[in-house]
Structure 1
Amino acid sequence: MHKKILVLLLIFTLFLQWNGPVGAANDTLLESISSSGNQSNSFSYESMVSGNGRYLAFSSDANNLVNGDNNGIIDVYIRDLERNNTECISRSSSGSLIGGYSPSISGDGRYVTFTSMESGLTSSQIFLRDRILNITKIISLNNAGGVADGDCGESAISGDGRFVAFSSWASNLVSGDNNGLSDIFIRDLILNTTKLVSIRANGQQGNFESYNPSISFNGQFIAFVSSANNLVNNDNNDAEDIFVKDMVSGVIKIVSLNNNGEQANSYSSTPSISNDGTRVAFSSMADNLVDGDNNSRRDVFVRDLVYNITKRASESSLGEEVRMESSNSMISGDGRYVAFESGNRPPQVSAASPGHGWLYSNPKNQISQASALVPGDIIDSKDIFVKDLFTGDITKISWSVNGSEANGDSYEPSINYNGSVVSFTSWASDMTNNDHNEWGDIFANGVLVSNPEFKLNGYLTPLTLKAGQWVKVIASTSYPAKSVVALIKGVKINLSFLNGHWEGSYKVPAGEKVGKQNVNLMAYSFLANDSCLLSFNVISTPAKPSNPVIKPVVKPVIKKQTILNKIKSNIPIITKPIIVKVSKPVSTNKPVKATSTVKTASGADLVKIISNIVFPKNIGVERTLITPEYKRYVENLVKKKDYNSLAVEVYYWNIFNYVSYKSGEASKKAGKTGNFWDFWDTTMFHVYGYSNLALWAIS
C-alpha cells in the first residue's frame, strides 16, 4: 500500500513536469541518410543519441552518406536531428577518413569517441573527435602518452565530456597490469591521466575479463560487466555480473542482486547507468532477481543503488510477465525511462566490428506462449519498448508508419536524458514512407523540441540582519538540477536539496561592514546552467526583520498531535529514537492520532505501529498491505539509526489515513460507497505541498 501511495503522489507531481514520454509511432523518422536525404547503400547500426536529444551518432558500412567516402570500411557518423545534416566523425584531424565503430557521444554532442584501427596501428584504439575544433586524437594512452599495446573495445564518454571509460586488453596503460585480460580503464581528458577501474580499493585486480562500460554524467561512477569473482567479497555465482565502481572512494559494488542481497543465479550483461549514478539498467538470464520470474528468458532489470531495490522493467504495464527475450537496455539520464529490445527473433546474422558477427537463434521449443508487452504486438518479432519506471507504463516504439506491426526486427535502442528521443536499428521497410534500400537503418522516434528553459529562482531570509546572524539561502529550479552553489564574499556554499528545494546558510562574520552584501546564486543541470544575483543588508543595530530566522527545535518526541495539525507543520528534526504510537481511531470516520507512549526499538515495532492504522470501512478498504520489501526497508532504517527517515514513514502513513478519512467523507457526501482510489483525486490536494513527493525510489 505504501508503494501505491508514493507512486500515485509521484504521478500527480510528474503530470506537471516538463519532460514527457517518447512520441507515438508516426514520430519515427529515418536518420541514416545523407544531408541531401539519400538513403544509405549499406547496413547502419550502433546508434547513440546525445543527452540533449539533438545529435545521433551511429556506425555504417555505407559509402554514400558523405562525399569522398572511399575507404571501403565502416565509419562513424553524426546526424544533426535539428538541421538534418550528416557528417563523418571517424576522420583524422587533417580530414581523411580512418574508419571506426562503437561510438559514444557527450551530452551536448560536441565530443564523440569511437574504436578504430587506423592505418599504421597494430591494434584497435579509442579515438576522440572534437566536433568544434575538428580535432581527432587517440586517448587510449598511459600517463606517459604511450599508446595501448593491446586491442581496445567499447568506450563510454561522460555527459560532461571530461572522462572516457573503455575496455582494453593492453598491459601498459597502468603499472602492475599483469592479468593478461580485458580490463576497464578511465581516461581524464583534462589531466591526461589513465586509471584502472576493474580493481579493488585494496589493489586486487580482476581475475577474469571486464568489458562493456557505462559512465555517469560527471565520470564518478562506472558500471561494467565482469566475469571476475574477486572484485567483491563472496562472489561465488560463477557468472558474469554487473558492477559499479565509485572513482572517488574506490569502492566497487555488485549490482546484479535481488532485494535480499543475493547474487543473480545466471549471467548478466549490457549495463547502463543514470547520470547521477544511482540507477543501473541491465539484462540477465537470472530467475531469482525478482519474485515470479518464470519465463526462462533474459529480462531487463533496474537496480536502485540508494535503496538497494531491484525491479523488472521488461513486463507489461499491469506487471505481467512475458515469455520473450529482453535485452540491450539503456536508461535515460534522469533515471526515469528504460529503452530495451524484446521479442523472439528467428536465426539471423548481423554485422559487427570487422571480422566479428552475432548469430541469434530461437529453437522451436522456445517460441513464446505468453501475452505481449503491449496490446497488438506480435511477439515473434524483435521490437523496441520504453518503460516508465515512475508510472509503470510501457510503450512500443517500433510500429510501422500506419501503426501496425513492422515488417522487420528492431534492436539496439538508445535514449536521451529525459526520454523524449529514442533511436534504434531496424530492418523494417515500413516504418517510414519510401524506405527502399533493403538494409538495416537507423531510426529516431520523438518530436525534437528545444529543451525547456532552465531557470533558477532564489530568495534570502532575513533580508536585513547584523553581524553574527545567519542568512538562509533558498532556491528552486524549473527542472532537476545536479547542484546549486551560492558565493558570498568569496565563500562558497553548496546548497542541499531538502523537501523539494535547495537550502543553505551563511553566517555574517563579526565586525562585518554595514551595507549591502551580494549573493551570487548558480545552478547546474545536466543540460544547462543558470544564475541570479541576490542581496541582503547588514546593519549595525539589532535587526528587526519582518521574517526572522527561526532556529530549528529538536523534538525527540512527537507529542499528541492530530494528523491535520501534523500536515500543517514541518517534520521535526529527530536526533533520538522516535517515541510514537499510532492507535486505532475511536470510530471509522475519524483520522488516526499520534501519541507518545511507545518507543520504536526495531523495524518490526514500527511495522506493528503502522499496521495499527485501519481504514474507514465506508471507503471499501479494510486491510493494510505491509509487504516484506517495505518491512526490510523500515528495519534497515532502524539499523542505520536513520530516525528522520523513520519519522517521515510514520508521517506518510498518517497522511494516508487522513486522506482516507477525507475520501470517505467525500464519498458519503456524494452518496457513494466506492473504492478509496476512486476518490483519491478529490482529496490528495489536501496534502499536496506539505509532503516530500520525491520519495518514489522505495516504491
Structure 2
Amino acid sequence: MKSKPIRSTSRRAKVVLSTALVVCAVATVTPTAATAVTAGPTTARDGLSAGADAGAGVGADAGVDLGAGVERISVATDEGYGAASITPDGRSVVFTSLKNGPPQGGNEVYVRDRRTGLTRTVPLIESWTPAISGDGRQVAATAPAQGMTAQRMQQHSLDLGTLPVSCHRCNEPSLSSDGRYLAYGGLAQPGQRRQVVVADREGGSVSVSLANNSAPARPSLSGDGRYLAYQNLEKADVYLWDRTTGTTSAPVDGPSRSASLVQLSDDGRKVVYLSGSDTYVHDVGSGTAQLVPNVTGVAIDPTGRYLLYTPNGTGGPSLVLRDLRTGTDETVSDQPATAETDSVSTDGRDVVFQSAADGIVPGDTNGTSDVFVRRFF
C-alpha cells in the first residue's frame, strides 16, 4: 500500500426541532486519556474536575497541536463504546456507551473536547448513531419516548439544553453545521411508510421523500443545510434534494445500477454510494462518478477529497483513507476496526473509529470496544 503525503484541516454538522421535551444538565467526566504519539507531543489536558475552568491553560483558542498519532477518546474503563462521529475541525467527538443507561434503557451519549481533554455526558438516551453539528455545539440522537416503545428525536445544545423536536418513530439524524437544520428518517402514518424530513429550528419542516417501505433512508445533509442526499431502497436508488430550488435530482447512480447511500460531503459536491462490491463517488457538478473498485466506502471528508473505506476480502488493514485526487492510501487501522459516517475531519487530518483490539494505544486493557482518533499530521 502506498503512503501518502501529509496534509491540513476543518469540518461539518447535523441536528434540529418542533414540539417540547425535557431539559437536563450536562455532566463533566474527566478520566485520563491514553495516546500513542508518533510525531509531536499530545497536549490535550485531562483530569479537570467538574466546574473547573477549561479556559485556563488549554482551551478553545489555545491553538493546541495534538500531534500525529492515535488518541483514545473513550477514556473510562468500565464499559464499551462506539458509534462515533467527529467535527470537521477535529476538535469534538460524539460517541455512545454500549451499556444500557438509566432511566430508559438506551445508551448514553458523550462529547469529547480534544483540546480541553473534557468528556461531557449529554442527557440523551439513544439507540442509533448520534449526530454532532459542525461547530460541536449540538448533538442529536433517537430515544424511546417516555412510557412508549416508539422512538423520538432529541436535540441537545451544550449551551441551551434540550431543544424541541417532534416526530413519530424517527431516527438517523443528520445536522447542518450550525445545527439549524435537522434531517431524519421516520415512519409516516397511515401505512407506516418511510419518510425523510428536514426540519428548520427557526420554523417549519419539509417532507422530502415518502417510500412504501420502512427501510432506512440514511439522510445526509450538507453543512449549509441546502442539500440532502438520501436513499430509497424501494427503488434501490440514491437521490439529492436541493432546498433552494425545492427539486430532487434523478438517481445519482444512473438508470442501470442499484445503490445504497454512504454520505454526502459537507460542501454538497460529492455523494458516496455503494453498488455491488464497489464504491462510487459522484460529482454533483459534472454528473460523473469516480469508481473505487472492490472496497466498501464508509465516510468522506467534508471537502469530498478523502474517502475512508474497508477493503473487501480478507487480510490487510481494516480501515484505509484514500486521497481521491492522487489515488494514494494511508492505513487508519491494521487491527479489526469499524467506523461510521462523519468520521473524517477536513482534509483527512483526523479519523475516528471503534475497535476492541488491545494494542492500539498503551494501557488499553479493558478488553472491550473503545473509540480512537488517528491524526495524520
Contact 1:111-1:161 within 8 A present in 2 as well: yes
- State the shift of 1:84 in Å: 4.7
- Other-structure match for 1:327: 260
Task: Say which structure is richer in strand.
Answer: 2
Aligned: 1:442 with 2:319? yes
2:112 aligned residue: 129
Deviations 1:255-312 (A, max 9, x none): 11xxxxxx4445561000011111110110344xxxxxxxxxx111111122121114
1:87 paired with 2:25, answer no
TM-score (norm 2): 0.64
Change (3 A) 1:108 1:87: same
Corresponding residue for residue 218 of structure 1: 178
Measure how far apart 1:240 and its partner are: 0.8
State the distance in 2 between where 1:246 and 1:276 align.
12
* Secondary structure class of the residue paired with 1:245: strand
- What CA distance in whole angstroms lies between the structure 2 residues aligned with 1:223 and 1:302? 13
Identify the residue that residue 162 of structure 2 maps to in structure 1. Answer: 194
Q: Percent identity?
A: 26
Would the alpha carbon gap of residues 445 and 139 (structure 1) be closer, same or farther in structure 2, given more than 3 Å must change? same
Q: Structure 2 residue aligned with 1:159, among 134, 149, 153?
A: 134
Is 2:374 the counterpart of 1:414? no
The equivalent of 2:96 in structure 1 is: 115
Higher-RCO chain (CA-CA 8 Å, sequence separation at least 6)? 2
**Which residue in 2 is equivalent to 1:254?**
207
Question: What SS does the corresponding residue of 2:217 show, helix, strand or coil?
Answer: strand
- Superposed CA deviations along residues 590-623 of structure 1, whole A, max 9, x for unmatched, are xxxxxxxxxxxxxxxxxxxxxxxxxxxxxxxxxx
Contact 2:298 2:308 in 1 (8 A): yes
Distance 1:170 1:99 in 2: 24
C-alpha distance in 2, partners of 1:87/1:269? 32
Hey, what does 1:311 align to over in structure 2?
249
- Aligned pairs (5 A) from 1:270-349: 270-287=218-235, 298-315=236-253, 320-324=254-258, 326-343=259-276
Give CA-to-partner distance per residue, 1:323-380, whole Å, 9 cap, x none: 33x113311111111111111xxxxxxxxxxxxxxxxxxxxxxxxxxxxxxxxxxxxx
- Checking the alignment, whether the CA contact within 8 Å between 2:257 and 2:275 is kept in structure 1 is no
* Matched-pair contact (CA < 8 Å) for 2:217–2:233: no
Aligned residue for 1:240, secondary structure, equals strand
Name the aligned partner's letter for residue 163 of structure 1: Q
User: Given residue 239 of structure 1, which amino acid in structure 2 is its aligned partner?
Assistant: R
Letter in 2 for 1:216: S
Match of residue 42 from structure 2: none
Q: Distance in 1 between matches of 2:257 and 2:117?
A: 48
Aligned to 1:571: none
Matches within 5 A, 1:675-694: none
Distance 1:165 1:117 in 2: 17
Q: Deviations over 1:563-585 (max 9, x none)?
A: xxxxxxxxxxxxxxxxxxxxxxx
Call closer, same or farther: CA 1:152–1:125 in 2, change over 3 Å: farther
Q: In the aligned structure 1, how far is the partner of 2:121 from the partner of 2:223?
A: 25
Amino acid of the structure 2 residue aligned with 1:306: T
The 5-angstrom pairing of residues 298-697 of structure 1 reads 298-315=236-253, 320-324=254-258, 326-343=259-276, 382-397=277-292, 399=293, 406=294, 410-428=295-313, 436=316, 441-446=318-323
Structure-2 separation of matches of 1:310 and 1:83: 43
Contact 1:28 1:444 in 2 (8 A): no
SS of equivalent residue, structure 2 residue 150:
coil
Letter in structure 1 aligned against 2:120 = K
Q: Which residue of 1 aligns with 2:151?
A: 182
Q: Work out which of the residue numbers 163, 169, 179 in structure 2 matches 1:209.
A: 169
Q: Whole-Å Cα distance in 2 between the matches of residues 428 and 314 of structure 1? A: 27
Q: Distance in 2 between matches of 1:104 and 1:179?
A: 28
The whole-number CA distance in structure 2 between the counterparts of 1:415 and 1:330 is 7
Quote the Cα distance in structure 2 between the aligned partners of 1:138 and 1:228: 32
Distance in 2 between the 1:389 and 1:186 partners?
Answer: 30
Contact 2:94/2:112 (<8 A) preserved: yes
Report the Cα offset of residue 396 of structure 1.
1.3
1:394 to 1:240, Cα distance in 2 relative to 1, 3 A: same
Equivalent position of 1:139 in the other structure: 122
Bigger Cα Rg = 1
Runs of 5+ consecutive residues of structure 1 not aligned to the other structure: 1-24, 30-48, 53-64, 68-81, 142-147, 172-177, 200-205, 230-235, 257-262, 288-297, 344-381, 400-405, 430-434, 450-525, 528-699
Instruction: Report the number of matched residues.
Output: 272
Q: Structure 1 length normalisation: TM-score?
A: 0.36
- Structure 2 gaps of 5+ residues are 13-33, 37-65, 327-344, 347-377
Residue type at the aligned position of 1:271 = P
Q: Distance in 2 between matches of 1:27 and 1:391?
A: 29
- Give yes or no for contact 2:82–2:98 (8 Å, CA) kept in 1: no
1:662 corresponding residue in structure 2: none
Q: Equivalents in 2 of 1:136, 1:424: separation in Å?
A: 28
SS in 1 for 2:177: coil
- Cα displacement (A) at 1:66: 6.9
| Partners of 2:188 and 2:303 in 1: CA distance | 34
Cα separation, 1, equivalents of 2:80 and 2:228: 31
Cα shift at 1:28: 8.1
